[in-house]
Chains A and B, each alone.
Chain A
Amino acid sequence: MRITDYSLLALSSLKYSRLRTYLTALGIAVGIAAVVLLTALGGGAQHYMMGQFSQFGANIISVAPGKTTTAGISGAILSNVRPLTIEDAESLHRLPNIITSVPAIQGNLPIERGNRTRWTSVLGINHEVPDTWAMEVGQGRFLPNEPAEQARNFVVIGDTIRRELFPYTKPLGEFLRIGGERYRVIGVMKKKGQVLGLDMDDIVYIPVYRALSLYNRDSLMEIDLRYTEGYDEEQIINNIKQRLIERHGSEDFTITSQDDIIGTLGSILGILTAVVAGLGSISLFVGGVGIFTIMSIAVNERIKEIGLLRALGASRRQVTLLFLFEAAVLSGLGGIFGMLSGFGIAWLLHYVIPALPVNIQWDYVIMAEIIAIVTGMIAGLVPATRAAKMEPVDALRSE
């Protein structure tokens, strides 16, 4: 018998008891819609997080002092870790395909203006921040390009600082006291909002050399390097490694690329999406139970018909397949319906709450669809086998 004929016969019986078909298919549809929707939300969250991360800028490699290894003694006990210096940052800048190099140190200090004081995050950096971290200056300008040790006491402030310390006046040209030193405000950053829960506007930027002396440290916390788009990241990381080993004598630093971070984050969120998909498949299972029930009833109702088919020369195998096809078509239709409604609800959610990240996960959608059909067939298997096992004479005689 042809596959198209199996489907044709399956469809004809599904069409005959329409309400029942709809209700049973609905069971599967709810499951599929749940999987589609939940994974879309999970995927949306993943997408959103990635987007947030790339807000720090793209193609960034960061170098931190100290080597992270599982075996070894902490640098605090037996320190042979050489500090990461501003000279290191300048040296790395000269490597091929490195566009910018930002030496960075961060800490919290009180910022005073008149009688107002605010503790905030003070970043010591250089003039290349706007080109590295995808940040923009709103008013004035960023720190000027000048030799590190001769950097003047200039400060660029975030939008929150501007609002808190200069509620009524223009900040440009005004003076702030940071850790007791006097700094002149030369720029205000554009409002950035929150990235991963951090207020990116509650930050002030001062020259790195000044910050090192404010914090009384000789090592940077990090050097951020941006490389030319499209170049092999691994090659660039190797160059950086070599250059620093040359300068330090050993590998006493850790290089992290943005891809590493995004990769880790991606796998965590991927697991989240998978868990959510698992939850959705519980309803798929319930839908499968519905198909099992309906197919059992269908076999009981059609015992005579099974007898007739056998009399017409249908083999047991054909009878089994007929009912299996019916179950598969039933769940397949439910699956398609569920998929469409999943898409619809996802779209509606996105439309009503634009802030909610929604991202359809096609791999899960296709997997759910396959699972739906397989569930249907497994659920149909027992009734179908029972149908095939009937003796034709008994089947024909039943009332």
Chain B
Amino acid sequence: MIKLQDICRFFKVGDETVHALDKVTLDISRGDYISIMGASGSGKSTLLNMLGLLDMPNSGSYQFEGKELTTLSEEKRATFRRENVGFIFQSFHLIPRLTAAGNLELPLMLMGMAPKERHTKVKDALANIGLADRANHLPKQLSGGQQQRVAIARAMILKPPLLLADEPTGNLDTHSGNDVVKILEELNASGITLIVVTHDLELGERATRKIKMLDGKIIEDVTSEKPI
């Protein structure tokens, strides 16, 4: 599904050049459950952003189902993100002014879907995460776990094949964290490619394929035979 070849990404900090990604080569198949672990500054978040086309490499090639993405224009990348990638963030990134339903509606609005169609989709999605009765609540009226569930539902509302999660449980207590992980793993079981960046060893160990990074390089890439 995804083929990364010699991806380099460096930033200039003052006179020094920091290599966030240093010739990373990676193959990802459809339905993979991958965890990316490593110390702060090891480049794991940059890799995730690269996969989601939020960031562009300085060199190297990124192919998605055989199509080269590094040459896409910004507008095309936006369309690609909308259609193929769901993002989950540590801090949820819900828009505080919009209700749970309003947040779920955003990607549908951006693609220009008719309000009627949107409402049924949003209703279904809220029911799926067990928050049907919270549709009209603002994010601040929801618990952290509920907020992250809304964020997941929003990421998945257009059914993208790739789900990228950056520390999805980082801001949650163990109980809510487990709920969120359960939902993510269910999505993976239904065929969605799940890539999780985390500090949390326990969460990292759950993935079937575990990647460790250091100084912008992949230093370990282990695939366990049986999924948990």
Q: Determine which of B75, B106, B154 lies in contact with A316 in the assembled complex, contact meaning CB atoms within 8 Å.
A: B75
The answer to whether B79 and A315 touch across the interface, beta carbons within 8 angstroms, is yes
Count of CB-CB pairs between chains A and B under 8 Å = 73
Please state if B97 and A311 are interface contacts (CB–CB under 8 Å).
no
A308 touches B74 (CB 8 A): no
Q: Does A310 contact B110, Cβ atoms closer than 8 Å?
A: no
CA distance A336 to B79 in the complex (A): 37
Quote the shortest CB–CB distance from A339 to chain B (angstroms).
27
The answer to whether B81 and A2 touch across the interface, beta carbons within 8 angstroms, is no
Closest Cβ of chain A to B93, distance in Å, is: 4
**In the bound complex, do residue B89 and residue A313 qualify as a contact, i.e. CB atoms below 8 Å apart?**
no
Instruction: Indicate if A15 sits at the interface (CB-CB under 8 A).
Output: yes
Instruction: Give B64 Cβ to nearest chain A Cβ, in Å.
Output: 15
**In contact, A315 and B93 (Cβ under 8 angstroms):** no
When the two chains form their complex, are residues A312 and B81 in contact, meaning their CB atoms are under 8 A apart?
yes
**Is there an interface contact between B95 and A311, defined as CB atoms closer than 8 Å?**
no
* B97 and A15 form a contact (CB under 8 A): yes
Q: Does A309 contact B (CB under 8 A)?
A: yes
The complex places the Cα of A15 from the Cα of B55 at a distance, in Å, of 33
Shortest Cβ gap from A395 to chain B (Å): 9
Assess the B54–A318 pair: CB atoms within 8 A: no
A274 interface residue, CB < 8 Å from B? no
Kindly supply a per-residue 1/0 record for chain B positions 104-126, scoring 1 wherever the CB is within 8 Å of any chain A CB and 0 otherwise. Answer: 00110111100100000000000
CA distance A12 to B54 in the complex (A): 26
**B55 close to A315 (CB less than 8 A):** no
> Judging by beta carbons under 8 Å apart, are A316 and B97 in contact?
no
Are A2's CB and B110's CB within 8 A? no
**List of B residues within 8 angstroms of A95 by Cβ:** none
* Residues of B with C-beta under 8 A to A309: 106, 110
Q: Are A312 and B106 in contact (CB under 8 A)?
A: yes
The interface residues of chain A, by DSSP majority, are classed as helix
- Contact across chains for B112 and A312 when beta carbons are under 8 A apart: no
Given A311-B87, A313-B81, A393-B55: A12 in contact with B109 (beta carbons within 8 A): no
Supposing A392-B54, A396-B54 touch, asked if A313 and B93 sit within 8 A by C-beta, the answer is no
Is there a chain B Cβ closer than 8 Å to A16's Cβ?
Answer: yes
Residues of chain A from 214 to 258 with CB closer than 8 A to chain B in the complex? none
A304 CB–B CB distance under 8 Å: yes
> Is B110's CB under 8 angstroms from A393's CB?
no
Contact mask for chain B residues 55-91; partner A; CB cutoff 8 A; 1 contact, 0 none: 1000000000000000000110011111101010100
Residues of B within 8 A of A1 (CB): 109-112
Q: How large is the interface on A (under 10, 10 to 19, 20 to 34, 35 or more residues)?
A: 20 to 34
Residues of B within 8 A of A305 (CB): 93, 95
Q: Which chain B residue shows the least CB distance to A318?
A: B110
A316 touches B78 (CB 8 A): yes
A308 lies within 8 A of B78 (CB): no
Query: Is B4 in the interface zone, CB < 8 Å from A?
Result: no
Q: Does B52 contact A (CB under 8 A)?
A: yes
A314 on the interface (CB 8 Å rule)? yes
Contact of A315 among B52, B75, B89, B115 (CB under 8 A): B75
| Shortest beta-carbon distance from B84 to chain A in Å | 9
A12–B111 contact, CB under 8 A?
A: no
Which residues of chain A from 63 to 122 have a CB within 8 Å of any chain B CB? none
Q: Is the CB of B83 within 8 A of A313?
A: yes
Contact call B110/A304, Cβ cutoff below 8 A: no
Partner of B109, one of A5, A13, A311, A315: A5
Query: Beta-carbon contacts of A13-33 to B below 8 Å, as 1s and 0s?
Result: 101100000000000000000
Instruction: From known contacts A9-B109, A16-B97, A312-B110, infer whether A317 and B75 are also in contact, taking CB-CB under 8 Å.
Output: yes
Are A312 and B97 in contact (CB-based, < 8 A)? no
Q: Does B96 contact A (CB under 8 A)?
A: yes
Instruction: Indicate whether B49 reaches chain A with its CB closer than 8 angstroms.
Output: yes
Whole-angstrom distance between the alpha carbons of A305 and B106 in the complex? Answer: 12
A22 CB, nearest partner CB in chain B, Å: 16
Measured between alpha carbons, how far is A315 from B79 in the docked complex, in Å? 8
- Contact assessment for A12 and B49 in the assembled complex, using a CB-CB cutoff below 8 Å: no
Report the separation of the CA atoms of residues A16 and B55 in the bound assembly, to the nearest whole angstrom: 31
Indicate whether B204 reaches chain A with its CB closer than 8 angstroms. Answer: no
B98 close to A (CB within 8 Å): yes
In the assembled complex, which residues on chain B have CB atoms less than 8 Å from the CB atom of A310?
54, 78, 81
Partner of B81, one of A9, A12, A311, A391: A311
Closest chain A CB from B202 CB (angstroms): 26
Best-surrounded residue of A2, A391, A396 (most CB of chain B within 10 A): A396
Let me know if B78 and A16 touch, CB within 8 A. no
A9 contact set on B, CB distance < 8 A:
109
B76 CB → nearest A CB, Å: 9
The answer for the CA separation of A305 and B93 in the assembled complex, in Å, is 7
Chain A: minimal CB distance from B216 (Å): 16
B78 contacts A315, CB within 8 Å? yes
Given known contacts A311-B52, A314-B110, A396 and B93 CB-to-CB distance under 8 angstroms: yes
Check B111–A313 contact: CB distance below 8 A.
yes
Is the CB–CB distance between B54 and A393 below 8 Å? yes
* 20 contacting pairs across A/B (C-beta < 8 A): A2-B109, A2-B112, A12-B98, A13-B97, A15-B97, A16-B96, A16-B97, A307-B93, A309-B106, A309-B110, A311-B52, A311-B54, A311-B93, A312-B87, A313-B78, A313-B110, A315-B78, A315-B79, A317-B75, A318-B110
Binding site for A on B (CB under 8 A): 49, 52, 54-55, 74-75, 78-83, 85, 87, 89, 93, 95-98, 102, 106-107, 109-112, 115, 154
Given contacts A311-B93, A313-B79, 12 further A-B contacts (CB under 8 A): A1-B109, A4-B115, A5-B112, A9-B109, A310-B81, A311-B85, A312-B82, A312-B106, A313-B110, A316-B78, A318-B110, A393-B55
Closest 9 CB pairs of A and B: A313-B82, A16-B97, A315-B78, A308-B93, A5-B109, A392-B54, A313-B81, A311-B87, A393-B55
